[in-house]
Amino acid sequence: MDNLIIEGGRPLEGTVKISGAKNAVLPIMAAALLTEEPCRITGVPDLSDVVFMAKILRSLGAEVQFEDSTLTIHAKNIKCVGNYDLIRKMRGSICIMGPLLGRLREARVSMPGGCIIGARPVDLHLKGMRALGAKLVIDEGYISAETDQLKGCRIFLGGRAGPTVLGTANLMMAAVLAEGTTVIESAACEPEIVDLADFLKGLGAEITGAGSPTITINGVTKLHGTDHQVIPDRIEAATYVICAAATESNVRIIGARPDHMHAVLDKLQECGANITQEGTELVCNGGGELNPVDITTMPYSGFPTDVQAQFMALMTLIPGISIITERIFESRFMHVSELGRLGANIAIEGPSAIVKGGTGLRGAPVMASDLRASAALVIAGLAAGGSTRISRVYHLDRGYEKMDQKLRALGAKIHRVAE
């Protein structure tokens, strides 16, 4: 397992280009199972989650090539049973259930495990499939689903924490080949859902309302291949903007979609960060007094839970009390104890973390626990004086393309060593 070694306490300088969105490309890869014709997807980030999803699609019988940020997926002849061990290991793979059910009228996928940030139930996914007329049996860790014909329906998909992103994606992908019309109420509104809908429309699906809480899908009988360019990763972009603010750097961020980032940019403005927009480019000018802010994570277009850990790292540097409340996942504070090793002063009170910022951070050995927590540790390590060693960076490689290379190009003293 690799480690990252960071010599922190120095500002960065330069331009960073944002890669394609992990959380858009994973469901889009699953959606390519809906057609027997080839699909070409460009702007794909080189991430271990993408490579893993390609492995899952191959285990189903699809041909998958991935090079130069381009995926070619040809699901000519596929089977309905996913490899238990593969699927169990990556939550995002649950979204192969919808396309398999839609195209083959049966699917057998393993129950995705929970993970360090929460239980990650799939009850809403199953509710949606049953509403479309699938018979579901859960046995030996598998979800087995079958149907003579999926039938369109109206379904409320909201859960205890609001909409479900992958649940919405799964249901959309099952409904596009169902008989009749499906209306999803309380659908997720994330840009990644809009991107999936655009891909499905490229296959010939009839979808309206993507990006709003009500999505309407008129089922069709067959879908064809398509070419699609993935949207930029708003979470990666937010991570670099926060990193620039935390290290008082002058950094230009290109290739992002600032219109997908209003909540994060608004919070950064509120705490006094100097960030301007030039067309679709974000220009961060470091320095200047920052002040504490309070954040509550919400479904889109509210403040994204996937940026909570990174923003907390920034809060540890701002003198005063900041409060960050996590409303989406029940235990997404694994980064708190590791930030504490770097000198942060954070107390957890139920769903909130109270950050007493401005105590100063000093480098130390820390351990990544999940994808966004590891990004928070990189930000804190870059801002801290001295040397920080981050272990288990495979978590980072799941969702950030070449992060250490991109940061080195900005002048950061960061390098990767094998453990």
Which residues lie near ligand EPZ (CB under 6 A)? 22-23, 26, 91-92, 118, 120-125, 159-161, 164-167, 305-306, 328-329, 371-372, 399
85-90: long-range pairs with CB below 8 Å, 24+: 85/110, 86/52, 86/55, 86/56, 86/59, 87/56, 87/112, 88/112, 88/113, 88/141, 89/52, 89/113, 90/49, 90/52, 90/53, 90/56
Asked whether 348 and 333 are in contact (CB, 8 A), the reply is: yes
- CB of 41: closest distance to ligand EPZ in angstroms? 16
- CB of 329: closest distance to ligand EPZ in angstroms? 5
When the beta carbons of 107 and 318 are compared against ligand EPZ, the nearer one is: 107
Query: Residues in the chain, how many?
Result: 419
Task: List helix spans (H) across 143-255.
Answer: 165-175, 191-202, 234-246
When the beta carbons of 260 and 372 are compared against ligand EPZ, the nearer one is: 372
Tokens at 313, concatenated: 């790292």
Dist. CA 325–CA 312, nearest whole Å = 10
Rg (CA), the chain: 21
Asked whether 202 and 228 are in contact (CB, 8 A), the reply is: yes
Helix (H, G, I), strand (E, B) or coil at 90: coil
Asked whether 96 and 104 are in contact (CB, 8 A), the reply is: no
- CB of 373: closest distance to ligand EPZ in angstroms? 9
- CB of 37: closest distance to ligand EPZ in angstroms? 25
Q: Is 80 marked active-site?
A: no
When the beta carbons of 12 and 396 are compared against ligand EPZ, the nearer one is: 396
- CB of 73: closest distance to ligand EPZ in angstroms? 17
Tokens at 224, concatenated: 């064809």
Residue in 39, 115, 153, 271 annotated catalytic: 115
When the beta carbons of 12 and 109 are compared against ligand EPZ, the nearer one is: 109
- Catalytic center residues: 115
